[in-house]
Amino acid sequence: MSMPPSQAELPAESTPTDVGFVDEAAAGSPDRFAVNELTANSFVEYARALGKRIRSGESGALPVVIGLVVIVAIFQSQNSKFLSTGNLTNLIEQSGVFVILGMAEVFVLLLAEIDLSVGYVGAVGATVTAELATNPHNVNWFLACLAGLGVCAVIGAVQGLLITRLGLPSFVVTLAGLLGFEGVLLYLIQHDKAATGGTIPVTNKVINDIINGSLSNTVGWIVMVIVVVAYGAISVLQNRRRRASGLVTAPLALVAIKVGAVAVVGVVLVLVCNANRGLGLTKLEGVPWIVPILLVLLVVYSVLLGRTRFGRYLYAIGGNAEAARRAGISLKTIRLFAFVLCSVTSGLGGIVYLSQLGSISSNVDGGNLVLYAIAAAVIGGTSLFGGRGKMIHALLGGLIIAAVYNGMGLIGLSAAAQFMVTALVLLAAVTVDAVSRRGRTSA
Amino acid sequence: MHGSGDQQLRMATDATAGARSADRAPASSSAGGAASGTPLLRLSKIGKSFGPVQALADIDLEVYPGEVLALVGDNGAGKSTLIKTISGIWSPDSGQEFWDGRQVHIRHPRDAAALGIATMYQDLALADNLDIVENMFLGRETVRAGLLDETSMELSARRTLSDLSVTTVRSIRQPVGSLSGGQRQAVAVARAVLEEAKLVIMDEPTAALGVSQTAMVLDLVRSLSERGVAVLLISHNLNDVFAVADRLAALYLGRLAGTARIADIDSQQAVALITTGSLTPVGAHSARKD
């Protein structure tokens, strides 16, 4: 859909020269044109433009961060254990599944599609992994995970083919998946010899350690420093390269602030995780393995979305499928790969879930998981209407979901209340998305 | 041909059109030598029907390098059908297409793009959520070591836009959704230039635009033509046609009613071509065929 020409979008300062062929130097000068973040060359200009953008409703990650602070404040006031290092580490571990499943949803939400089957697809993948990694097979953990993810890839391909080749709505195909793969899960667990009482236990140490194992305190610090330094170096190099090419470049001070913020988050995270959270005599400390895993996944997927053709095409199709088609992009191929990636990623989520529970059983509530996954992506800022979203959204949203989930458990809310609160959080996120979208298109 | 075929007053498509009415002869010398040499695109007896509806019949049309050819006609005359045929949305049922004198079969938008035909539809086919650079390079991104080379794309996007004298956009990294109608057209034109298109088909580029933005788009059309790019301009607005086009081709009920150099006709005759399919206004016989 193309938007009507939006005169109103142009700030008043720029209207007199909308047609004219102004010379190039004048085009960038602040007295004739409103400066926005993209054109700002100095830090002051940038800050001013940022303030203006936030006031006009395009606030990026800000509401998410504010929401997180509010939620944390509420739970902390109800139960002072909420912000204890032990509970925070627990919260991070709980967020793993929501974040990864949310990332899975981002791939398809960008296309304005949806995948309702991620919960049970992930559970099926996890079951395959669990079966292979325990008695009597005792397959190497890596191969077992690979097999689980392979099964998920096949499932994603089948669902994707039904959607792209037959033109079935993804909503319906994956709803069938939601039901069908719960059936597959039940079947697998009923027929597996390793399963005792409807449960396949995790006996493999590596798989168990994804959630339950930690880096040693020293390694945690080393990894953190490496990550921050690498992030800083890449940011500065990119900034230099743009500047050297004569392109409009964000001020270096801004880069410094971003790198500084990452460093602060890193230090706090490692400090919290490195504190002893063991009960009694047992000592338990260190950054859980899930943290670097999420980080690697975040970087790899963000590069995939932001720096490759595939990612660019996902955004293009979500923004205007017809434009993408006319640009020669094969919509079917890109869509198919998005569904495959979504299912494989939910397989990863399933394996993390397996590690978290220490076993997989027929009681997995895939229906609930998928709602948390969609909520994580949307709360973080990914649009249900396609074309807008990032992997970091799933991370932020997943943390919010985990905070709500964890906090409600901590203050002892009943299951009934928990469902209702989760529903309200999801509705609030979708409302914010819809309202901000209306604000954009009617501008 | 038969029936209405004799209405196909083919005026001045090339130098042999000496027999046209002499009263406006002086004007024709200023029309530029666009219409000569090998046509970039030649359509011969193109026909297309949808079920029982004959949408196009016996269309013969030439487009020369660097000329602006206006395609006019009333609603339902077959303009859209014709440009969709040229741009490969569907293939014609009959007739032949020649590109640079060589017969071609345009069956897919990819075929058209490979030849150097860029089509700009009314809805512009831009993705609002992508920025200007991303839209200009959509489908043909520069890749270095597997990753998008944003710097080089941004540089060449900026160069192209300034070549086209488009300097009103504040940042080429702003989303296309935030641009005005004229600016969106500019992005689409820049995209075609970047593709090194030889023929740009523009479908009603000024339909939704105000006066000043229309002027901007017409300037873009001129600068395309100055770069040697042929422009096939579909327009309802005869002011625009007379402002930028070198020649005019009128469709009437799926047939080519006639082509004429803009310098050789006036807007009344153009209206007559569009509404009656004949260059001769009702009751007047100033421009009879020979």
Q: What is the pTM of this model?
A: 0.81
Q: Which tens digit of pLDDT belongs to each residue from B135-156? A: 999 988 999 988 999 889 999 9
Q: How far apart, in Å, are the Cα atoms of A4 and each of A408, A440, B123, B233?
A: 45, 12, 9, 21
Give residue A194's pLDDT: 73
Yes or no: say if B64 and B40 are a contact pair by the CB < 8 Å rule. yes
Comparing A16 with B76, which gets the higher pLDDT?
A: B76
Mean pLDDT computed over A148-153: 97
Mean pLDDT computed over A417-427: 84
Confidence of residue B13 (pLDDT cuts 50, 70, 90): very low
Give residue A40's pLDDT: 60
Identify which of A303, A307, A309, A300 has the alpha carbon closest to the alpha carbon of residue A330: A309
Q: Rounded distance, CA B154 to CA A291, Å?
A: 35
Give residue A41's pLDDT: 59
Confidence of residue B74 (pLDDT cuts 50, 70, 90): confident
B49 phi/psi in degrees, rounded to 5 = -130, 150
Comparing B91 with A225, which gets the higher pLDDT?
A: A225
Confidence of residue A437 (pLDDT cuts 50, 70, 90): low
Grouping H, G, I as helix, E, B as strand and the rest as coil, residue A116 is coil
Task: Give the pair of three-digit tokens for residue A355.
Answer: 């590690």
Angle at A5 between CA A2 and CA A10, to 5 degrees: 125
Mean pLDDT computed over A56-67: 68
Identify which of B185, B201, B166 has the alpha carbon closest to the alpha carbon of residue B68: B201
Q: Running DSSP on this structure, what letter comes out for residue A234?
A: H
**How far is the alpha carbon of B106 from chain A, nearest alpha carbon, in Å?**
14
* Residue entry with tokens 């509530």: A365
**How far is the alpha carbon of B185 from chain A, nearest alpha carbon, in Å?**
10
Q: Which residues of B touch A23 (CB under 8 A)?
A: 167
Q: What percent of chain A has pLDDT over 70?
A: 86
Ranges A6-10, A100-104, A167-171, A328-332: which has the least confidence:
A6-10
Give residue A287's pLDDT: 92
Angle between helices A331-357 and A141-165 (to 10 degrees): 140
Mean pLDDT computed over B72-86: 88
The DSSP code sequence of B15-65 is TT-TTS-GGGHHHHGGG-TTS-SS-SEEEEEEEEEETTEEEEEEEEEEE-T
A80 close contact with B: CB closer than 8 A: no
Yes or no: say if A356 and A211 are a contact pair by the CB < 8 Å rule. yes
**CB proximity list for B260: less than 8 A, separation 6 or greater:** B9, B11, B12, B247, B248, B269, B270, B273, B279
**CB proximity list for A412: less than 8 A, separation 6 or greater:** none
Q: How far apart, in Å, are the Cα atoms of A285 and each of A188, A270, A272, A288, A296?
A: 36, 10, 9, 8, 21
Query: What number is the ipTM of this complex?
Result: 0.81
Confidence of residue B281 (pLDDT cuts 50, 70, 90): low
Grouping H, G, I as helix, E, B as strand and the rest as coil, residue A367 is helix
Q: CB–CB of B174 and A241 under 8 A?
A: no
Task: Considering only CA atoms, give the Rg of chain A.
Answer: 23
Give residue A440's pLDDT: 58
Give residue B107's pLDDT: 87
Q: Rounded distance, CA A121 to CA A178, Å?
A: 8
Comparing B182 with A309, which gets the higher pLDDT?
A: A309
Query: Is residue A32 predicted with pLDDT exceeding 80?
Result: no
Give residue B280's pLDDT: 65
Task: Give the pair of three-digit tokens for residue A180.
Answer: 């069908």
Look at strands B255-261 and B9-10 and give their pairing.
parallel
> Residue B127 is nearest to which of A9, A18, A320, comparing CB atoms?
A320
Q: Which helix (H) or strand (E) holds B148?
A: strand B147-148
Grouping H, G, I as helix, E, B as strand and the rest as coil, residue A421 is helix
Q: Rounded distance, CA B38 to CA A69, Å?
A: 70
Grouping H, G, I as helix, E, B as strand and the rest as coil, residue B232 is strand
Q: CB–CB of A38 and B110 under 8 A?
A: no
Q: Running DSSP on this structure, what letter comes out for residue A195?
A: -
Give residue B17's pLDDT: 36
Mean pLDDT computed over A99-110: 97
Q: Which residues of B touch A35 (CB under 8 A)?
A: 170
B119 close contact with A: CB closer than 8 A: yes
B123 close contact with A: CB closer than 8 A: yes
Give residue B265's pLDDT: 87
Strand partners, B44: B96
Confidence of residue B14 (pLDDT cuts 50, 70, 90): very low
Q: Rounded distance, CA B138 to CA A148, Å?
A: 35
Q: Running DSSP on this structure, what letter comes out for residue A196?
A: B
Q: Which tens digit of pLDDT belongs to each residue from B27-60? A: 333 334 444 678 999 999 999 999 888 889 899 9
Yes or no: say if A417 and A105 are a contact pair by the CB < 8 Å rule. no
Mean pLDDT computed over B82-98: 89
Q: Rounded distance, CA A406 to CA A36, Å?
A: 40
Q: How far apart, in Å, are the Cα atoms of A394 and each of A95, A96, A344, B224?
A: 10, 10, 16, 45
Range B271-277, long-range pairs (CB < 8 A, 24+ positions): B271/B238, B273/B72, B273/B248, B274/B72, B274/B73, B274/B74, B274/B77, B274/B250, B275/B74, B276/B252, B277/B4, B277/B7, B277/B250, B277/B252, B277/B253
Q: Which residues of A touch B167 (CB under 8 A)?
A: 21-24, 26-27
Look up residue B131 and give its amino acid.
Answer: D
Give residue B21's pLDDT: 36
In the stretch 246-265 of chain A, residues with CB closer than 8 A to chain B read 246-248
